[in-house]
């Protein structure tokens, strides 16, 4: 038979069982945390009509789309979860209650140039709160709490959520009478961390033609540093000169004021006037989340407030606020940095049941009893030598092996071997499933990430 | 602004939040049950190189494939989870431990003609056990137990697992010297339920040219009915005439013998000599699962034993046994038939927290405390009238609403309203999260399906 070489496309993550178990654990914590904040799970098709999906897109994004025809249909794979959400909310508007809070964790597709750590198929994990006509500012204050809880639940502590408000930026550039070049200015300011304040000033002057006064003001503004209270105090000095700015400052004050109540410690949160998150989509609070020890990774959780989710589909005003975690990339980075907690079990089962008798009934009954109390049990019946069986147990990394020989069956016990400590003990058959359940629960304590 | 009409492609399931919650519950039970039997979760790309994915395909399947090019690459969307598994096992053979037990619940794509209840994007929920060179028969006996547990956990009771063995069929046609036409014969026999034994006999004679003796033998064979013991006894009469047949009968005896130990009641299981499941892939035990009250749906969980999972990719002999549930179609049918348990909560949250004071801190603190014990809490802060707030609570179907007014805050209590009974009571603030946790747990008791 002519054979085809098995391969997985480059840029597509495919994990071995052990890594997949770790990935599922991380994904599970995102789902659980999002759900706890009252977000409903959503699942939309991976394929949409190109006309619908690309209503807004253009430029760089459009080039990356997986687009094709099937029959008469012009189809595209989704490249994010926001456009499908916009379509969903526009389409089902009458059937939804607002604010509509949804989370979605799903695969998206971008035909980027393949390179290490860049994926063409990857999971995004998004939450959004959508209002009908209006949406209260408290929703913007709650978002950093959700980010904080999510990352803390994963086991991360060394991270910081950066917050800014687009109204402050827009109002500020308006004060300088340079709001018509605001997108270009923000693009230059975005390089601050890489090139420093001085070079940003030079570029603003040389490339964009800003006068020295404006450049000076901007450099002074983006150089505002300090505690959140200090930054907010510095911003107060600009108050009263521009309505948009003042509104943004109000919003930022509200967000910061409620953070303590929402349980976000001060040191995990920083007002940062240099972040802008894209150029025209966001209209209020914006968020970035940095891993303190891995700034080179960039933001691992970003988002913000927008005024019009679905303007390409409906005349209804649908403001919202949302964040997105690039789950596949985050997992890749955690793995690369050795941050995954290797002590948590990743085996397909908690106990491998080895029957040592001709009649398999006692082993089957024991495995069934284990499953009854929620212990993941696998029956191993392949006719192999004992050593091969134990080798299999080692390779799948199972925490416990159960032996059921003539002796055990006759005495109503089972021999349970702890594969980590090597210790073995006999436990009464009826007590053993619960014994295992407790041991396994203890082993599963702990977070998927360990810094 | 020119707008695009929001729409979802026909043949693509997109659920409203309430239905999505029900779907997630069903999916969750499949995951949990599969995991309990020691299957490891797997996730493979939705896109594969066409050359790899279509190594085996042909005919009807190939026409349905979503196939396209991106740059120089000829790509296809997966149409099942078996071919990607074959690729995975061939590719990662050295890194896996065998038997390799995996479950995968994921979307697959088939460009079928759109019609009611047919989907172009749908979830399959598969388990497979793959051996390296050999695989013990007990794995085939365990499969009906997993099907039984899965459907029972969902809340279904009115179903029956049909089992047959391909070796019995192949051996039987060999006895009649008609094994060269076995695929055609099986295709005719497959119509038995629709057209009856007499017409099957006519077709075998008229269309396939079988002699009257052979036709008589086949009609007699497929008319064998009765309890599992009666059917097995009838098969004993054919023993000794064909080696393949005898081996198949041994296997079937073993599968039936261990069913009781595996906890499958006799009435949920039937040896059925008429099922064959496809034409050449399966080589041993085959399974179908019928909903007794909805035979028109066909099999909702099918599979079987195969000798060569990955022969298109590797010379290694990889026998296995697996089953697949067409989850999207099953969910559609359950919904259509009104079988989903409408009493289980489907709201995004367990409690909607309504602050009735200017200062939101107490409400935020209470919502945070609820989340701390696993209660899903949503803070509702939109500046709406009381009636609009309660209307929102009704629309999302939340089981409890928490009121925190000046009075409550001053007295250290929270007013909790049961939205089903309409009853309202004051509970001490510190006790309330646990109070809610218990109430919510009780409400979530029950299976997602109710017959």
pLDDT score recorded for residue A135? 98
Longest dimension (CA), chain B: 93
pLDDT score recorded for residue B2? 82
Fold (topology level) of A17-336: BirA Bifunctional Protein; domain 2 (3.30.930)
Please provide the size of chain B in residues.
451
Q: For A43, which of B20, B364, B383 is closest by C-beta distance?
A: B20
Per-residue pLDDT tens over the stretch B103-130: 999 999 999 887 888 899 999 999 999 9
pLDDT score recorded for residue B25? 98
pLDDT score recorded for residue A316? 96
| Structure-derived torsion over alpha carbons of residues A109, A110, A112, A116, reported in degrees to the nearest 10 | -40
- Phi, psi at B372, each rounded to 5°: -60, -30
pLDDT score recorded for residue B187? 87
Q: What angle do CA B190, B195, B200 make, to 5 degrees?
A: 65
For chain B, positions 120-159, list CB contacts with chain A under 8 A: 121, 131, 134-136, 138-139, 142, 145, 149
The answer, yes or no, to whether residue B59 has pLDDT greater than 80, is no
Q: Which residues make Cβ contacts (< 8 Å) with residue B54, sequence separation at least 6?
A: B62, B65, B67, B76
pLDDT score recorded for residue B260? 87
The three-state secondary structure class of B138 is helix
- CA distance linking residue A229 with residue A256, whole number of Å: 9
Q: For A360, which of B21, B131, B258 is closest by C-beta distance?
A: B258
The answer, yes or no, to whether residue B56 has pLDDT greater than 90, is no
CB contact under 8 A, B4 and A52: yes
- Phi, psi at B146, each rounded to 5°: -70, -40
ipTM comes to 0.96
The three-state secondary structure class of A130 is strand
| Domain positions in chain A | 17-336, 351-443
Of all residues in chain B, the one with the smallest CA distance to A396 is: B97
Per-residue pLDDT tens over the stretch B234-290: 999 999 999 999 999 999 999 999 998 899 999 999 999 988 877 678 999 999 999
What pTM does this model have?
A: 0.96
Low-confidence ranges of chain A (pLDDT < 70): 57-60, 279
- How many interface pairs between A and B have CB atoms less than 8 angstroms apart? 261
CB contact under 8 A, A314 and B6: yes
CB contact under 8 A, A9 and B96: no
- The number of CA neighbours under 13 Å toward the Cβ of A285 is 28
Q: What would the mean pLDDT of B41-59 be, rounded to a whole number?
A: 90
CB contact under 8 A, B136 and A381: yes
Query: Which CATH architecture group holds B11-155+293-340?
Result: 2-Layer Sandwich (3.30)
**For testing contact with chain A, the best of B348, B355, B359, B401 (most A CBs within 10 A):** B348
Q: What percent of chain B has pLDDT over 70?
A: 99
pLDDT score recorded for residue A113? 81
pLDDT score recorded for residue B279? 62
Per-residue pLDDT tens over the stretch A300-358: 999 999 999 999 999 999 999 999 999 999 999 999 999 999 999 999 999 999 999 99
For chain A, positions 362-381, list CB contacts with chain B under 8 A: 364-365, 368, 371, 374-381
Q: What would the mean pLDDT of B29-39 be, rounded to a whole number?
A: 98
Helices A212-222, A192-206: axis angle to 10 degrees equals 170
- CA distance linking residue A186 with residue A277, whole number of Å: 9
The three-state secondary structure class of A394 is helix
Give the pair of three-digit tokens for residue A34.
């999002």
pLDDT score recorded for residue A190? 84
Which superfamily does A351-443 belong to? Answer: Anticodon-binding domain (3.40.50.800)
Work out the end-to-end distance of chain A between its first and last CA atoms, rounded to an integer number of angstroms. 50
For chain B, positions 237-276, list CB contacts with chain A under 8 A: 258, 261-263
pLDDT score recorded for residue B1? 73
């Amino acid at each position: 038979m002519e054979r085809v070489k098995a391969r997985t496309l480059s840029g597509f993550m495919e994990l071995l069982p052990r890594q997949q178990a770790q990935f599922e654990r991380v994904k599970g914590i995102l789902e659980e945390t999002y759900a706890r904040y009252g977000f409903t799970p959503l699942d939309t098709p991976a394929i949409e009509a190109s006309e619908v999906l690309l209503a807004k897109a253009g430029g760089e994004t459009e080039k990356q789309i997986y687009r094709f025809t099937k029959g008469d249909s012009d189809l595209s794979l989704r490249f994010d979860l926001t456009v499908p959400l916009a379509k969903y909310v526009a389409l089902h508007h009458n059937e939804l209650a607002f604010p509509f809070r949804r989370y979605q964790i799903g695969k998206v597709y971008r035909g980027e140039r393949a390179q290490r750590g860049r994926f063409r198929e990857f999971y995004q994990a998004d939450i959004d709160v959508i209002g009908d006509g209006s949406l209260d500012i408290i929703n913007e204050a709650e978002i950093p709490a959700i980010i904080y809880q999510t990352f803390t639940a994963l086991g991360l502590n060394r991270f910081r959520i950066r917050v800014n408000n687009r109204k402050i930026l827009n109002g500020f550039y308006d004060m300088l009478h340079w709001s018509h070049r605001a997108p270009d200015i923000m693009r230059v300011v975005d390089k601050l961390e890489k090139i420093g304040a001085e070079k940003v000033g030079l570029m603003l002057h040389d490339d964009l033609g800003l006068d020295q006064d404006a450049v000076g003001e901007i450099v002074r503004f983006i150089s505002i540093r300090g505690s959140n209270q200090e930054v907010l105090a510095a911003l107060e000095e600009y108050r009263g000169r521009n309505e948009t700015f003042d509104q943004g400052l109000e919003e930022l004050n509200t967000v910061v004021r409620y953070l303590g109540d929402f349980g976000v410690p001060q040191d995990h949160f920083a007002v940062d006037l240099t972040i802008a998150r894209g150029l025209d989509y966001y209209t209020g609070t914006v968020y970035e989340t940095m891993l303190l020890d891995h700034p080179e990774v960039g933001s691992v959780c970003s988002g913000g407030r927008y005024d019009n989710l679905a303007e390409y589909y409906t005349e209804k005003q649908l403001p919202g606020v949302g964040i997105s975690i690039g789950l596949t990339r985050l997992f890749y980075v955690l793995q690369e940095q050795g941050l995954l907690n290797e002590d948590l079990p990743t085996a397909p089962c908690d106990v491998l049941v080895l029957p040592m008798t001709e009649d398999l009934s006692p082993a089957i009954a024991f495995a069934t009893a284990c499953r009854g109390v929620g212990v993941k049990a696998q029956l191993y019946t392949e006719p192999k030598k004992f050593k091969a069986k134990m080798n299999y147990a080692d390779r799948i990394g199972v925490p416990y092996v159960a032996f059921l020989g003539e002796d055990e069956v006759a005495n109503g016990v089972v021999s349970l071997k702890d594969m980590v400590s090597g210790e073995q003990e006999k436990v009464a058959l009826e007590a053993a499933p619960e014994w295992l359940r407790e041991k396994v629960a203890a082993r599963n304590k702990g977070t998927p990430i360990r810094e």
